[in-house]
Amino acid sequence: MNRTTLSTAELRKPVVASAAVREFARGGYHGTTIADVARAAKISPAYVVKLFPTKERLFVTALETCFDQVVEALAAGADRAEDPSPDGVLFAMGDAYARLISDRTLLMLQVHAQSVADLPEIGQALRAGLHQVVDYAQSRSRASDEAVQRFVAYGQLCHLIVTAQISEAPEAWARLLTDGIRHPG
């Protein structure tokens, strides 16, 4: 029997990445320290630095983890699509994404990533994650470029509605933005 043994570092990386997602989502890139992530992962800051030598690398890993979870949610949504047409699959993916971001953690991490996308390593990771989402949505749904663009645009509108709590505003402008947009509570 051939057993693969993972090192302690290989076992700890996903734990630290998960803690980094939560901590960076809460405090953003500038407001979160390596020590914050270490505390959440229940390991020493020195060990976090051993695994992820820079704060940028740690943030990028959190962002990669985020986009992996987004694509997993899109896949689950597509698997549940009752309508197999491109629009039906995109609709099901959108529903799955709306459910995923209802706890706001992954949503806020993406918002924070956008705010520091001028840092080359983070900007590159953000673009790579968006590339992953767009490619997956298009290949899985077989939708047109225009339909995928609309899908991503609605996703960004959902981000705005959720982060700015627009669905709670009673004014006409807010109703205009939220009309037809579904957000699981």
Give per-residue pLDDT as tens, 28-39. 999 999 999 999
Can you tell me the mean pLDDT for 87-106? 94
116 near 24, Cβ under 8 Å? Answer: no
**Residue (of 99, 116, 81, 88) closest to 155 by Cα position:** 99
Q: Is the pTM of this model over 0.85?
A: yes
**Residue (of 137, 127, 4) closest to 60 by Cα position:** 127
CATH architecture, domain 56-178: Orthogonal Bundle (1.10)
159: pLDDT strictly greater than 60: yes
User: Would you state the pLDDT for residue 181?
Assistant: 80
164: pLDDT strictly greater than 80: yes
User: Would you state the pLDDT for residue 9?
Assistant: 76
Q: Both tokens of residue 111?
A: 């918002």
Residue 27 to residue 130: CA distance in whole angstroms:
22
Residue 122 to residue 115: CA distance in whole angstroms:
10
Can you tell me the mean pLDDT for 5-21? 86
Instruction: Classify the C-alpha dihedral 90-96-158-180 as positive or negative.
Output: positive
Q: Both tokens of residue 14?
A: 């996903």
